[in-house]
Structure 1
């Protein structure tokens, strides 16, 4: 057997093992357990009134713009007070 044949055989064995493991997981109660845990976690997170990452990033941008506008207005007020 040459090295290429050996590598093909190893790849074939690896693919077969991966397929068997995936089948075993699909047929095991672990898959149901995973779905149940995900469901419980989702319900728990909804009760905690959390925001998504997108909402958080959007609010961060809004806050940065508001802060910049406030600093601009403070500078204008300070300039008017000097007059």
Structure 2
């Protein structure tokens, strides 16, 4: 999920980039920018760095376990073939 404070900062930055003669619209624009950004990021199925790191660690442990199981399977197949 996208960091909400980062999203708010980005929306605020976009609203602040509006020319000063449209300053009265800045709050409305910021709200609109925030809504557009949230919808866009939701469609992208983004994850936080923390969630990514957790999933990467899970994948690494799973890969290690798979390699151990593959070695055990190879050993068992060898034993059967040697009979």
**TM-score scaled by structure 1?**
0.53
1:70 to 54, 66, 79: 66
Tell me which residue corresponds to 2:55.
59
Q: Does 1:43 align with 2:33?
A: no
Residue ranges of structure 1 left out of the alignment (5+ in a row): 1-23
Structure 1 runs, 4 residues or longer, greater than 6 Å off = none
Which protein shows a greater Rg?
1
The number of aligned residues is: 58
Q: What residue is the counterpart of 2:11 in the other structure?
A: none
Q: Give the Cα–Cα distance (whole angstroms) in 2 for the partners of residues 36 and 57 of structure 1.
A: 32
Uncovered stretches (5+) of structure 2, i.e. residues with no partner? 1-19
Quote the offset at 1:77 in angstroms: 0.8
